[in-house]
Amino acid sequence: MEGPTPHSIPSHVIRLRGPWRYQAIDATRGPDAGLGAAQPSALCGHCEVPTTSRTLLPPLFTGRVRFERTFGRPTGLESSDAVTLAVLGFDGVQWLGLNGAALITREETVSGESGRRFAADVTSLLLPRNSLAIEIFVEPHPSGGRIGEARLEIFSRG
């Protein structure tokens, strides 16, 4: 079965805005790391996306942060439908996975709506309950590193 073409228009879009759980995985140590005596894992919480790292983390934080969100399999899918996971507006993506399957395993900046984005057909990976994870590398940034949007795009081919 062929996937959607780059110029296809989805018949339905599900935005995965939140709630997302985030947690620092590791961090640069030192007086400027922004952690004080805290362990990186103490930097955790819930958020809606899009947002920036500046709103979630200490201003001088440098390190990897994991964002996770669960969601259900879209209902009403036909056997001919394709579901694409689209991710855009994230700076410094190190790893992206759905249900443990790696989709990105290198550093990449996924641009905004008018720029480059990451998209993959995930139809065969969807389960009744799904876990999307994105790990990013955060550095101090004047605008506060972008934490963008993830969405499911459903393409009808029937």
pLDDT at 68 over 60: yes
Mean pLDDT score of the chain, rounded to an integer? 83
CB 60 within 8 A of CB 140: yes
| Domain boundaries of the chain, sorted by first residue | 12-155
Assess contact for 74 and 14: CB atoms under 8 A.
yes
Check pLDDT > 70 for residue 158: no
Give the closest residue to 88 by CA, choosing from 129, 142, 36, 134.
Answer: 134
pLDDT digits 0-9 by tens, 79-138: 999 999 999 988 888 899 999 999 987 766 565 544 457 899 999 999 999 999 999 988
pLDDT on residue 46: 95
Phi and psi at residue 55, in whole multiples of 5°?
A: -80, -15
State in Å, rounded, how far the first CA of the chain is from the last one: 12
**% of the chain with per-residue pLDDT over 90:** 47
Q: What is the largest CA-CA distance in the chain?
A: 59
Whole-angstrom CA distances from 59 to 32, 52, 87 are 9, 11, 25
Q: How many residues does the chain have?
A: 158
Mapping DSSP to helix (H, G, I), strand (E, B) and coil, where does residue 3 land?
coil
Instruction: Give domain 12-155's CATH number out of 3.30.565.10, 2.40.50.140, 3.40.1190.20, 2.60.120.260.
Output: 2.60.120.260
* pTM of the predicted protein model: 0.84
**Phi and psi, residue 21, nearest 5°:** -100, 135
Mean pLDDT comparison of 15-24, 36-45, 133-142, highest-scoring range: 15-24
